[in-house]
Amino acid sequence: MFFERAREDAEKEVAADEKNSLALTKWGGALLELAHFRQGHEAYAMIEDAISKFKEAIELEPAKRHDALWCLGNAYTSQGFLSANAEVSAEFFTNAGECFEKAVAMDPANESYKRALEMSSKAPQLYAELQKQLEAANENAMMSASERGDKKMLTDGGAGPGSTYWSDTTYDVLGWVCLVGIGFGIAALSK
């Protein structure tokens, strides 16, 4: 897989030069992309690891790593959408917006950074809508389980906010939301 190879290459570059902020940014970027192919706690852990790489890159060259700030903002956005808690999500979205603001300030001509900043202000509303849709899907699943007599589904609960049970479908939906967002970012960068 491309992103796994990119992660390995960046890890080797960092092993050769621990002060290589670009390699750290690439490593974090590869981890962030790989996280979108994972589910649940594994995805969240990969995003956390990516965040640590971006922060380290920024710390090494704070005046130069606007790309790492942009990636860090995307990582926070991903975490926000993966969180089941609205307050925690709002904090992630705020952190993302701050990263995008700093990236725009460092490179005001970069359209991708500007679009990311604009979209980050809409993330809480998108999150709320997604939670409503997940809750509706959960209610439908619970009704279907009730009709089928599926006691396990009924006792475990559903994938709604505040529940400890998140189905694979929930993670698939959230993963696709994040993947589409990153896809738009990559497309914008290639222009």
The residue among 189 and 133 whose pLDDT is bigger is 133
Task: Identify residue 50 by its one-letter amino acid code.
Answer: A
Instruction: Read off the DSSP letter of residue 20.
Output: -
- How is residue 160 annotated by DSSP? S
Specify the pTM. Answer: 0.73
The predicted pLDDT at position 1 comes to 78
Question: Is the predicted pLDDT of residue 161 greater than 50, yes or no?
Answer: no
pLDDT for 174:
60
Please tell me the predicted confidence (pLDDT) of residue 185. 52
**pLDDT for 54 beyond 90:** yes
Q: Is the pLDDT of residue 160 over 70?
A: no
54 is written with which tokens? 């971006």
